[in-house]
Structure 1
């Protein structure tokens, strides 16, 4: 058996054991998404789960990746009239609610207007399962690469009362509440109405040190060294390097809340696509491990506000001020409170003037989606990890694949003519190589040998194998992967005309030599101090 996905929004199933009649109304249409979404939907890519072949993953010209269970589907004919128009009624092509799971990065539906303003179309250009079928890798055009867990569903989380369910306030020492993970070095500078003497601060720091004595012992010397190096890069505003080191440290100490809190601060400073949402998730992780993590709690409210979940941001900040009353009058807290209230007012005013529905999330002027489609989107699963550094905006066939004996690496091409290799566990870039003079589209690993085939716009397919460790230099290796990743991030956010000129060979200072994206900070309270 084999399946095909096409740009008319349908998936066909073929069985070589049956004679193919090739009639106009053959009953071989397994999915007709147009009946639920509208005529503008197009399937772009398809993958079959290698260990559970009943699961079919489909990428379309929207950011939602759909995994259908074909045991719950029935092949039907696609009725066509004399004008060749297709059926658009869900009743004529019914689907059961549990026949499909939707996957989407949690920030994308909320930030849809930002992508529209940037004229960036989001579409899955490639989907693939790992060898044991437990993970789904998606190369999302106009955004990053995402890894989803098929077996353990992760729901999109905003403000969780479970995470910070403890309403108990910190204990008081000499009139000052004590909370975990660094309340000095910036936060205390904004305290109003409290006179802190040096003896008070020393007493507070001493108590805090005793309180964290055991937790700091749990950090090995290797993790402590990684954290200090990452903090140093953060202070130098080299946020990408800091994030890479925090990634390594978290893999070695996944229960250290301070690492998640510090990485969240670096994400909020770097501000690449999806970074604010990743910071919000790190704040959740830090609070699960330590409900008294002051900075993670404050950053969570700030992230929610930046992601335009203003109601949740308001509730989170209200909880923050109740739990940490000493900091409720700080300048940072008061400013955030004003920003959230202004956003709430603006959001209410916008809702009164706009009557947008789920149908125009990504397709302007499209017909309304079905009720089932709305449910599937609302129940979409979030990603497990993401891989940043490449650029996928020009072609719609750009692949991403697992690589290595155990799929321990991720490989993908880029619009800058290079391809990237990431370590799957840490999501860090380990190598960038020039694979094409223009664009690298396809990367396929050999099934049994350490061999990788790449192709792009050039009239050549290149084969890549390990070189001997004799100190020789690969002339196709890109020396500075951080610079390459930053340039691609700028390229993704560049004006479409500038991108077209770049692809024609022009160098643009705004992309090649500009300041780092998201240079504006958010106050002392985001600095990692642990």
Structure 2
């Protein structure tokens, strides 16, 4: 992408959702708004031809499929997905048979549908985001539309006959570490603010409010994995360590330690959930000659070795994001080096942004898959499990480590881990227990500024728990933006083949990432306050952005002639770091800052707090090698 953009200003027409109906010659346009109503307008006749008042809350998104004539879908904060066919007369009556999905049946009265998208190459696939951390992918071919059933004062869920969802009609996706009872998430819960399919229809992008942006592969979804001693023991010769989980498990909350863990600087694999690991005496010990590094790692090509050394240098200077970017680049060139994955895991653990500890866990698994006798990778895996408060797994993994590497069991690092894990298990309270479904730590009301302790827990059906238990993990993760202030913030694919990812941010900028490496390549000032919407042109290199300002800006490449672009944010790393702090700040303070008020210490104090909170901060104390 070029570094300079031409900007044009267009006046906003309103705050509604608009979609042209397929096969209407762009003469029919559907709209949805905060008045709960959906309308269809005949542009040529300049009249409204249909008004639907079936929704009982704000209409958030509309969706169409180019190959499905005159049909569109709506998602609203009443938790209902409606399907309309303009060729069929519509009446807002109790007998209207146009409900495709009612999320409330399985999630209770407080569920909200936030976003919706249709796969243009497979229009039977419909993605829905709600006020939780899960993305739901429905197969419309397996769903019959049904009547709309309202909640009443005495019941929290519709009648059983209203449930038109067969068990196999939906696939769930969620980042493997979510939902969590983050101490730093005390001000808000998570909600999907936008979902989008890639141009080839194989990938699904989700902008998760209060967290990061996640990409899921829907054709080859990634299974959650976990450390499993029996699998490890039986496959040592093939360097196997990860086990796919065919059953649901619990995701504990997040906790932290002040002890040194002996990690130095180090793509993404997987790892989570309990599986009842027990140390086995059958694990063959490694001789005392074992080194902490990989024993059989082949040398890196000179170019990749140079990149790794530069990344290690950035790590030593505590420039962890720059180090991660360089490791990403190196892994893109050599994808089978355990050292690169292990080094990147260390950088993730030190940076400690939201989701970094789980990303480090996945890297440790990948490193051990490539080299089962990699001591550092195994110890970091234990530390990651502990930091994620998956303490039982951490203890089991540590016992397996001691059996496998008896000469390392008396090291300071190993003993510190042992003390940390046992202390965490001893002090675990009912509020931090690992019991229950992964979703139960999340509120269903989607509030961004109320304490989880005072929110009603969602009333989740057994079927919902079953769907969540087999949710697939993410493929890629994009960090740097901030998405907490609004619930309409978009993220989209950009480029002729969707080779970039773009998203708006609460700091008034929009961010551009390289999809393959996940590296941030450019940050542009798109608004004086917040950038919410980003839509690429379907056939030319043109991007439209809008936010709080009463304008839409159009961005297109300009020649790289050396002239400075006024709206380019030069230090993208600083912008990303500030956004990560902003995401974990009090929303009231963030709102005041967005309005132009200076809140002393908002961004600076968080860093000091994270460095000094010890056992409560998402920071890992590391000892560089």
TM-score range, shorter chain: 0.7 to 0.9
Q: Is this contact kept in 2: 1:271–1:518, CA < 8 A?
A: no
Partner of 2:117: 47
Q: Is the 8 A contact 1:452 1:464 kept in 2?
A: yes
Alignment partners' CA distance in 2, 1:318 and 1:59? 40
State the match for 1:485 in structure 2. Answer: 576
SS at 2:321 equivalent: helix
Cα displacement (A) at 1:325: 1.2
Q: Deviation string for 1:194-228 (max 9, x for gaps)?
A: xxxxxxxxxxxxxx6xx54xx01xx2221111100
> Separation in 1 of the partners of 2:484 and 2:361?
26
Match of 2:326 among 245, 250, 256: 245
Q: Indicate which of 471, 476, 479 corresponds to 1:380.
A: 471
Counterpart-to-counterpart distance in 2, 1:353 and 1:464: 48
Residue in structure 2 matched with residue 308 of structure 1 by the alignment: 389
- What is the match of residue 459 of structure 1? 550
Task: Please state if 1:333 is matched with 2:425.
Answer: no
1:358/1:368 contact within 8 Å kept: no
Structure-2-length-normalised TM-score: 0.74
Does residue 114 of structure 1 match 2:195?
no
Instruction: Give the Cα–Cα distance (whole angstroms) in 2 for the partners of residues 502 and 334 of structure 1.
Output: 45
**Contact 1:443-1:453 at 8 Å conserved across structures:** yes
Q: 1:223 aligns with which of 295, 304, 325?
A: 304
Q: Is the 8 A contact 2:490 2:504 kept in 1?
A: yes
* Pairwise CA distance, 1:81: 8.2
* Unmatched segments (≥5 aa) in structure 2: 1-70, 237-282, 445-454
Contact 2:109 2:157 in 1 (8 A): no
Check if 1:143 corresponds to 2:221. no
Who is 1:410 aligned against? 501
For normalisation by structure 1, the TM-score amounts to 0.87
Q: 2:598 aligns with which of 488, 498, 507?
A: 507
Distance 2:474 2:556 in 1: 31
**Residue of structure 2 equivalent to 1:270:** 351
For the structure 1 residues 82 and 324, does the alpha-carbon distance in structure 2 shift closer, same or farther, using more than 3 Å as the test? closer
Going from structure 1 to structure 2, the CA distance change for 1:498 and 1:330 (only over 3 Å counts) comes to same
Contact kept? 1:130, 1:137, Cα under 8 Å: yes
Q: Compared with structure 1, are the counterparts of its residues 90 and 331 closer, same or farther at alpha carbon in structure 2 (3 Å cutoff)? A: farther
* CA distance in structure 1 between the aligned counterparts of 2:441 and 2:160, rounded to whole angstroms: 18
Matching residue of 1:185: none
Give the superposition deviation at 1:2: 1.2
Is 2:246 the counterpart of 1:155? no
Check the 8 A contact 1:125/1:397 in 2, yes or no.
yes
**CA offsets, 1:63-121, max 9 Å, x none?**
11111111111111013489898852445324211111111111112x2353652x122
Query: Would you tell me which structure has more helix in proportion to its own residues?
Result: 1
Counterpart mapping for 1:278-293 below 5 A:
278-293=359-374
**Against the structure 1 CA distance between its residues 500 and 71, is the aligned structure 2 distance closer, same or farther, given a 3 Å change threshold?**
same
- Name the counterpart of 1:196: none
1:282-334 C-alpha deviation (Å, 9 max, x unpaired): 00010011101111100001100111111110111011111111111111111
Q: Quick check: 1:401 aligned with 2:469?
A: no
Give the structure 2 partner of residue 125 of structure 1.
193
| Residue pairs, 1:415-454, within 5 angstroms | 415-454=506-545
C-alpha distance in 2 between matches for 1:137 and 1:40: 25
Higher mean C-alpha displacement, 244-253 vs 360-369: 360-369
Conserved 8 A contact 2:145-2:164:
no
- For the 8 Å contact 2:118–2:127, the answer to whether it is kept is yes
Aligned with 2:330: secondary structure? helix
Q: Distance in 1 between matches of 2:153 and 2:348?
A: 52
Q: Distance in 2 between matches of 1:346 and 1:84?
A: 40
2:424 corresponds to = 343
CA RMSD of the aligned region, Å?
2.4
Cα distance 1:500–1:351, how it changes in 2: closer, same or farther (>3 A)?
closer
Higher strand share: 2
> Counterpart in 2 of 1:204?
none
Q: 2:107 aligns with which of 20, 37, 40?
A: 37
Q: Which residue of 1 aligns with 2:285?
A: 169
User: For residues 338-358 of structure 1, what are the alpha-carbon distances to aligned partners after superposition, in whole Å with 9 as ceiling and x for unaligned?
Assistant: 111111122366578999996
Q: Which runs of 5+ in 1 are unaligned?
A: 183-207
> CA–CA distance in 1 between the matches of 2:165 and 2:591?
41
In the comparison of the two structures, how many residue pairs are matched?
490
The 3-state SS of whatever aligns with 1:432 is strand
User: Partners in 1 of 2:151 and 2:402 — Cα distance?
Assistant: 63
- The superposition leaves residues 111-162 of structure 1 with CA deviations (integer Å, 9 ceiling, x where unpaired) of 2353652x12210000000011100000000000000010112122232444
Question: CA–CA distance in 2 between the matches of 1:86 and 1:27?
Answer: 22
Change (3 A) 1:129 1:372: same
The 2-side partners of 1:357 and 1:443 are apart by 32
CA distance in 2: counterparts of 1:271 and 1:168, whole angstroms: 34
Structure 1 partner of 2:6? none
How many Å separate the matches in 2 of 1:3 and 1:248? Answer: 40
Change beyond 3 A, Cα 1:487–1:359: closer
In the superposition, relative to structure 1, how do residues 101 and 180 fare at CA in structure 2: closer, same or farther (>3 Å)? same
